[in-house]
Chain A
Amino acid sequence: MMPLDRADVDTDQIIPKQFLKRIERTGYGPFLFYDWRQQRDFVLNRPEHEGAAVLVAGANFGCGSSREHATWAIRDAGFRAVIAPSFGDIFRANSFKTGIPAVSLTESQVRHLIDLAGEDPTAVIEIDLEAQEVRGEGFGYRFEIDPFVRECLLKGLDEIGLVEHHATAIADYESHRLEWLPAVK
């Protein structure tokens, strides 16, 4: 676990703008929390947390800009999930698309995980998407997750394919749209 004991971490911090100029979807790992990483004692620089697979942070994580680069950077830096008491809406949606579940626990549960990771950097937790539970030694915390999102994550479903499946409904809707709505041709 990587304990990032801060609230309101915005996506400008997760990945600063100068790294949004790339046109690829990968390779953002080295730039995760770029400005904060310039400080030697920033938690991501500490050797005892190297290789952590779960980022645990304070409330309203990922607020601000819609940049999906934020979740790409978290994934590219080796994380497989983020746990926080709450998330920015767009960040949460992006994290699922990136395959990095954003898991909401209560404030006190997150506090426990952050403290635990601080005291024992080798502490291991398990995030069980199927059972919707975060488990560690001596505790099991249930979390809520959108059932559709859970299915997509578990089965690795292609969402565009799923929507394309409803082609008839889409075409039908299109044939009934109000005729004065703007079109740019």
Chain B
Amino acid sequence: MGPMPARTLAQKLWDSHVVRTGDAGAEPDLLYVDLHLVHEVTSPQAFEGLRMTGRHVRRPDLTVATMDHNVPTRGGVRAADELSRKQMEVLAENCEREGIPLHQIGSRRQGIVHIIGPELGLTQPGMVIVCGDSHTSTHGAFCALAFGIGTSEVELVLATQCLPQRRPGDLAVNVDGELPIGVTAKDIALGLIGRAGTSGGVGHLVEYRGSTVRGLSMEGRMTLCNMSIEWGAKAGMVEPDDTTFKYMERRPYVPRGSAWEAALDYWRSLPTDANATFDHEIELDAAQLSPFVTWGTNPGQVVPITGRVPNPRSDTDERALRYMDLKPGTAMADIAIDRVFIGSCTNARIEDLRAAARIIHGRHVHPQVRALVVPGSTTVKRAAEDEGLDLVFKAAGFEWRNAGCSMCLGMNPDILAPGERCASTSNRNFEGRQGAGGRTHLVSPPMAAAAAITGHLVDVRELV
């Protein structure tokens, strides 16, 4: 046998999960799924489909469910509206019947699906992970091939633990250099989307590489991978290294003892081979990045905080300006805000809360602003309280809530009123995303914290 051709990590992950190679283009490859994450919103019709066809979940031991989108972040399940409650009940019934472990509202490990996977050590390098949710790309930070699927595919995976897939292209994003002060992983993502456009990644598996990415914490890598879908990528991944292994050590589901050693050997074989090639590459100079903020209604409509609302270059831009009620030429830092949301699967991990708390410490939320901190999971909430972060936020006038998706999409009681303007650490500024008529400006946690204090969008570097 000749030497193995050089492969990207995406190719290695793909190859190791092919149950059956598709025949000469007529059929896609059949991939095996190592972990299927389930939440209340995109699963009821899939379980119903199984029931109607007399099927059952093939691998309940490789399936984990949580409640996140609908959960009220205060007042418990009783605070939910009737339809939300029903959806949560249906998930509980489905999990009960099929033997799927469920992290219910109010339980110790409940949280946003993409936060609890890594936190529990369920997310590991080399795995294929799917979920009926587009931000499944988050798990790619651990070098998992992780992507979102629709409800019909959820049903297919529940029934067979497999998914027919065509191999997407390989795209490398090389980020090199030192991040300037005040610039975070969120700003790398926003800067990248501004550059590549909202469909720049479509049809590709992205590998984030380079010295800047290697220097990011796992939290930062998760933020970066989380937003892969915002520029259309199928998945985003980072090679595993000591930062990865250190984060994973001793989490509940990671292997122990000799299995840990064996796993480490395997994980160390995953990075892209030295002479492997990508279909496309994008270069980003970290030193050129600054804290970014979106002005429009998609994440590609973004400028540095020191910039101004741009002149419209398309119908889409014009519509966005109207919706956001902004005039070209306005300095971003002159835009007053009503609400601040620190939360979501993009930026509600412990490091995000620490970064926001550092800005807030000893200061007070502007009287015109209502500000909310929503930890991404119950575990994050506990950790933050152990460090006293909750006290910092509360003393400053922030509301401190229970874990959930909260105002990222407002399927629960946390929503913007029409016309309200919000600095948000979430990932989507689509029209109405945080509430019909609400206006969203995407920023990093320190930027959101700074906006809460000053009452307008502001360069966080002025406050540090």
From known contacts A8-B198, A8-B316, A166-B19, infer whether A66 and B156 are also in contact, taking CB-CB under 8 Å.
no
**Are A160 and B166 in contact, with the CB atoms below 8 A?**
no
Write the A32-48 contact mask toward B (1 if CB under 8 angstroms, else 0). Answer: 00010000000000000
**Are B315 and A5 in contact, with the CB atoms below 8 A?**
yes
B182 at the interface (CB under 8 A from A): no
Counting chain B residues whose Cβ lies within 8 A of the other chain, the interface size class is 35 or more
**Are B149 and A21 in contact, with the CB atoms below 8 A?**
no
- In the complex, residue of chain A having the shortest beta-carbon distance to the beta carbon of B197: A60
CB-CB < 8 A to B198: which residues of A?
A: 8, 60, 63
CB-CB < 8 A to A173: which residues of B?
A: 19, 32
**Are A184 and B61 in contact, with the CB atoms below 8 A?**
yes
Write the B178-217 contact mask toward A (1 if CB under 8 angstroms, else 0). Answer: 0000000000000000000011001100000000000000
A122 CA to B131 CA, complexed, in Å: 42
**Are A166 and B411 in contact, with the CB atoms below 8 A?**
no
- In the complex, residue of chain B having the shortest beta-carbon distance to the beta carbon of A21: B83
Interface centre among A58, A68, A147, A148 (most CB of B within 10 A): A68
B454 at the interface (CB under 8 A from A): no
**Are B124 and A182 in contact, with the CB atoms below 8 A?**
yes
Write the B136-169 contact mask toward A (1 if CB under 8 angstroms, else 0). Answer: 0000000000001111110110011110101000
Write the A151-181 contact mask toward B (1 if CB under 8 angstroms, else 0). Answer: 1000000011011101001100110011111
Which of the candidate stretches A11-19, A75-83, A123-131, A133-141 sits at the interface with the other chain?
Answer: A11-19
Interface centre among B153, B166, B266 (most CB of A within 10 A): B153
CB-CB < 8 A to A164: which residues of B?
A: 159-160
**Are B314 and A7 in contact, with the CB atoms below 8 A?**
yes
A168 CA to B87 CA, complexed, in Å: 35
Shortest beta-carbon distance, A4 to chain B, in Å? 12
- In the complex, residue of chain B having the shortest beta-carbon distance to the beta carbon of A93: B150
**Are B87 and A160 in contact, with the CB atoms below 8 A?**
no
**Are A18 and B411 in contact, with the CB atoms below 8 A?**
yes
From known contacts A23-B48, A185-B61, infer whether A180 and B232 are also in contact, taking CB-CB under 8 Å.
no
**Are A90 and B150 in contact, with the CB atoms below 8 A?**
yes
CB-CB < 8 A to A94: which residues of B?
A: 150-152
A142 at the interface (CB under 8 A from B): no
**Are A160 and B431 in contact, with the CB atoms below 8 A?**
no
A98 at the interface (CB under 8 A from B): yes
Shortest beta-carbon distance, A37 to chain B, in Å? 12
A169 CA to B27 CA, complexed, in Å: 15
A119 at the interface (CB under 8 A from B): no
Determine which of B83, B86, B202 lies in contact with A88 in the assembled complex, contact meaning CB atoms within 8 Å: B202
A178 CA to B30 CA, complexed, in Å: 18
B409 at the interface (CB under 8 A from A): yes
Determine which of B55, B134, B155, B164 lies in contact with A148 in the assembled complex, contact meaning CB atoms within 8 Å: B164
From known contacts A23-B48, A68-B150, A184-B101, infer whether A160 and B202 are also in contact, taking CB-CB under 8 Å.
no
Q: A: which residues have CB within 8 A of B?
A: 5-8, 10, 12-13, 16-18, 20-25, 35, 58-60, 63-69, 71, 86, 88-90, 93-94, 97-98, 146-148, 151, 159-160, 162-164, 166, 169-170, 173-174, 177-185
Q: B: which residues have CB within 8 A of A?
A: 19-20, 22, 25-28, 30, 32, 34-35, 41-42, 44-45, 48-49, 53, 55, 60-64, 69-70, 81, 83-84, 86-87, 90, 101, 121-122, 124, 126-127, 132-134, 148-153, 155-156, 159-162, 164, 166, 198-199, 202-203, 229, 232, 234, 253-255, 259-260, 262-263, 266, 298, 314-316, 319, 409-411, 428, 430-433, 436
Can you list 7 A-B pairs with a CB-CB distance of less than 8 A? A8-B199, A10-B298, A71-B150, A86-B202, A160-B53, A160-B55, A164-B159
Given A60-B232, A163-B160, 20 additional A-B pairs, CB 8 A: A6-B315, A21-B83, A23-B87, A24-B48, A59-B199, A60-B198, A60-B202, A63-B232, A65-B134, A68-B150, A90-B148, A90-B150, A98-B152, A146-B28, A148-B22, A163-B156, A178-B126, A179-B259, A182-B121, A183-B62
